[in-house]
Amino acid sequence: MDKLVIEGGIPLQGEITISGAKNAALPILCASLLAETPLKLSAVAKLKDVGTTITLLEHMGVQTSRSEDRVVLDASHIHTQEAPYEMVKTMRASILVLGPLLARFGHARVSLPGGCAIGSRPVDLHIKGLQAMGAEIHIEHGYIEAHAIKLKGARYFMDMVTVTGTENLMMAACLADGTTVLENAAKEPEVVDLAECLIKMGARIEGAGTDIITIHGVERLHGCDHQVVCDRIEAGTYMVAAAMTGGCVKLNNARAELLDAVIEKLRDAGVTVESDATSITVKSNGKLKAVNIRTAPHPAFPTDMQAQMMALNTIADGVAKVTETIFENRFMHVQEMQRLGAQIEVEGNTAIVRGVPKLEGATVMATDLRASASLVLAALVASGETIIERIYHLDRGYENLEEKLTALGAKVKRTS
Ligand code: UD1
């Protein structure tokens, strides 16, 4: 298994380009199932989760071709509407095939996603929403069996804000009979990007980016050209890296308006953040103030940046309260950060972080994607060498991580 070896203490300097967003690419790849002609995507990052999604779609009969950051998907002929356990278990987002399959083919058989390291993460709202649209759904032998000769438009209130739930139902509603109104919908930029792609495919969607999305069903959808939105979480992670190391980093293909909550917190911590329409520059003298964080659905502070901001707080001046409200078990980075000398106490869904002057290199283990990213950040400022084991999690969400960090002057190498 690969490990990352990081020599800490170097202020990051220079510029890098942010990749297309993983969390936008995954639903948009699945949206190809709705189209009768090829969907042509660009800015599709080379990530493990993207590869897993493409393999799943190919298993169903989607013809795909890939070169550089471009992917073409042709779902004109599908030979199975089944997403098997072996594929779904490695990636929860596989549930995103459920809505499109059911809407276009009237049937889907999708394995229930298994347990997940960051909490139980049920899919009940996806299922209830499809049932509200007239689908018959049974859970049998660990599979969601869904049937509907033709989905019908419906008004559906989601009693929790769910990103993939909103995406699944929005995709299904595109081919339903009549109008669907999704209330308390997720407002994440990746939902908006999916909606923009669906609209180019011929869908009639209003309100994406607000908490009420209205979808007027159409008979059929076609392919289109679409460039995936930039990855705000990847950008946010490098912004924290620049802040923690006392560096100056320019991120190209990054949009500040997607990162308001993160930028606000970095400024509170004493970091300078400047931006134009397509880039963000972060400057820091390395002297950071502790900042309280409370995660919540967009536009509030994203749970996918919680671990990284906790890393910043471990070396900031003062005491920070980090509260996680989205996932119940998302503090697995804490005990690994403690191995690097961080002072953190966890009480329920809140972590109290007391900043220390210095972290010290040690061997740590990556446990999930963003936890792994936070350990990389801690390692970049720890004295001596830090070895991060099980870095396959990072390959799920960060394209060319070592190359990008090396381009900024960090001493990072991957070993087997
Ligand atoms: C997506 C993102 C993930 C991010 C998360 C929250 C993708 C591929 N993944 O995950 O990176 O951390 O949003 O921003 O886009 N819930 C239910 N029932 C449901 C669905 C969700 O109770 O049917 C709960 C979950 O357990 C969780 C909360 O709702 O507590 C939010 O989860 P959700 O937004 O669905 O997360 P994902 O879409 O899986």
- Cα 114 to ligand 1 centre (Å): 14
pLDDT recorded at residue 114:
64
Show Cβ contacts of residue 36 under 8 Å, excluding neighbours closer than 6 positions. 75, 76, 220, 221, 222, 223
pLDDT recorded at residue 329:
80
The answer, yes or no, to whether residue 233 has pLDDT greater than 70, is yes
Query: What mean pLDDT is predicted for residues 187-201?
Result: 98
**Atom 34 of ligand 1 has which residue's CA nearest to it?**
162
Please provide residue 357's backbone torsions phi and psi, each rounded to the nearest 5 degrees. Answer: -65, -30
pLDDT recorded at residue 117:
54
The answer, yes or no, to whether residue 416 has pLDDT greater than 90, is no
pLDDT recorded at residue 113:
83
pLDDT classification of 219: cutoffs 50, 70, 90: very high
Query: What mean pLDDT is predicted for residues 356-382?
Result: 95
* CA 53 – CA 25 distance, rounded (Å): 9
- Cα 63 to ligand 1 centre (Å): 29
Catalytic residue among 116, 174, 230, 248: 116
pLDDT recorded at residue 135:
98
Q: Tell me the per-residue pLDDT of 65-123, one tens digit each, with 9 for 90 and over.
A: 999 999 999 999 999 999 999 988 888 899 999 999 999 999 999 999 865 555 567 89
Q: Tell me the per-residue pLDDT of 4-39, one tens digit each, with 9 for 90 and over.
A: 999 999 999 999 999 999 999 999 999 999 999 999
The count of other CB atoms within 10 Å of the CB of residue 390 is 16
Q: Decide whether any atom of ligand 1 lies within 6 Å of the 304 Cβ.
A: yes
Q: Decide whether any atom of ligand 1 lies within 6 Å of the 326 Cβ.
A: yes
**Atom 9 of ligand 1 has which residue's CA nearest to it?**
23
Show Cβ contacts of residue 67 under 8 Å, excluding neighbours closer than 6 positions. none
pLDDT classification of 375: cutoffs 50, 70, 90: very high
Could you tell which of 98, 123, 164, 305 is best to mutate to test the pocket of ligand 1, judged by most ligand atoms within 8 Å of the CB?
164
Q: Which atom of ligand 1 is nearest to the CA of 298?
A: 14
Buried/exposed 10-40: b ≥16 CB within 10 Å, e otherwise: bbbeeebebbbbbbbbbbbbbbbbbbeebbb
pLDDT recorded at residue 120:
61
Q: Decide whether any atom of ligand 1 lies within 6 Å of the 162 Cβ.
A: yes
pLDDT recorded at residue 122:
87
Residues 46, 52, 55, 60, CA torsion sign: negative
Q: Decide whether any atom of ligand 1 lies within 6 Å of the 160 Cβ.
A: yes
| 281, 301, 358, 405 from 409: Cα distances, Å | 16, 29, 20, 7
Q: Decide whether any atom of ligand 1 lies within 6 Å of the 122 Cβ.
A: yes
- Cα 400 to ligand 1 centre (Å): 26
Percent of the chain with pLDDT over 70: 98
Q: pTM of the full predicted structure?
A: 0.97
> What would the DSSP string read from start to end of 106-149?
SEEEEEPP--BTTB----HHHHHHHHHTT-EEEEETTEEEEE-S
Q: Which atom of ligand 1 is nearest to the CA of 190?
A: 15
Nearest CA-CA partner of 216 in 184, 183, 170: 170
Please provide residue 99's backbone torsions phi and psi, each rounded to the nearest 5 degrees. Answer: -60, -55
To the query of whether residue 224 is one of the catalytic residues in this protein, the response is no
Q: Decide whether any atom of ligand 1 lies within 6 Å of the 123 Cβ.
A: yes
Q: Which atom of ligand 1 is nearest to the CA of 326?
A: 30
HSE-up of residue 108 (Cα within 13 Å, Cβ side): 30
Percent of the chain with pLDDT over 90: 92
Q: What does DSSP say about strands 363-365 and 385-389: parallel, antiparallel, or unpaired?
A: parallel
pLDDT recorded at residue 211:
97
Is 78 within 8 Å of 61 (Cβ atoms)?
yes
The answer, yes or no, to whether residue 148 has pLDDT greater than 80, is yes
Whole-number average pLDDT of the chain: 96
pLDDT recorded at residue 89:
87
Q: Decide whether any atom of ligand 1 lies within 6 Å of the 93 Cβ.
A: yes
pLDDT classification of 62: cutoffs 50, 70, 90: very high
Q: Decide whether any atom of ligand 1 lies within 6 Å of the 126 Cβ.
A: yes
Distance of CA 305 to the CA centre of its chain: 10
